[in-house]
């Protein structure tokens, strides 16, 4: 529900609320892997709405991996649908990050 509100009203903090609720959900016992996969993809969507490229990428990668491991066509299709919503600036940021990876170190 918060994700839908965040899509409609991006400046009202719903994306952060969605992220918080999903984080709580991810920390509870889940019935099956498909539920976990769905939660991870929702977390990717919340990160997308917040403009968090790194978190979005991490959750997308995990969600896709889970969908493939489970053999869940539904979750895979959801991941593809979410990927199609990826904001254009994310691709630019990801190119920069991938090119710089390994060239900088923290002090």
Dump pLDDT digits (tens) for 50-81. Answer: 999 999 999 999 998 999 999 999 999 999 99
User: Residue 106: inside a domain, yes or no?
Assistant: no
Q: Which of 23, 77, 96, 27 is nearest to 55 (CA)?
A: 23
Give the tens place of pLDDT for each residue, 4-60. 777 777 788 878 887 777 777 666 665 677 888 888 999 999 999 999 999 999 999
User: Residue 8: inside a domain, yes or no?
Assistant: yes
- Residue 96's domain comprises 2-100
User: Residue 11: inside a domain, yes or no?
Assistant: yes
Distance CA 77, CA 2 (A): 21
User: Residue 70: inside a domain, yes or no?
Assistant: yes
5 by Cβ neighbours in 10 Å (0-12 / 13-18 / 19+) ranks as middle
User: Residue 107: inside a domain, yes or no?
Assistant: no
**Tally of structural domains, the chain:** 1
């Amino acid at each position: 529900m918060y994700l839908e509100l965040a899509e409609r009203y991006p400046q009202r903090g719903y994306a952060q609320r969605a992220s918080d609720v999903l984080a709580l959900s991810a920390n509870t016992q889940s019935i099956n892997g498909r539920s976990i996969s769905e939660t991870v993809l929702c977390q990717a969507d919340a990160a997308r709405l917040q403009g968090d490229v790194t978190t979005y990428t991490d959750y997308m990668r995990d969600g896709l991996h889970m969908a493939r491991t489970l053999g869940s066509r539904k979750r895979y299709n959801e991941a593809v649908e979410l990927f199609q919503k990826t904001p254009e600036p994310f691709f630019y940021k990801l190119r920069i990050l991938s090119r710089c990876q390994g060239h900088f170190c923290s002090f």
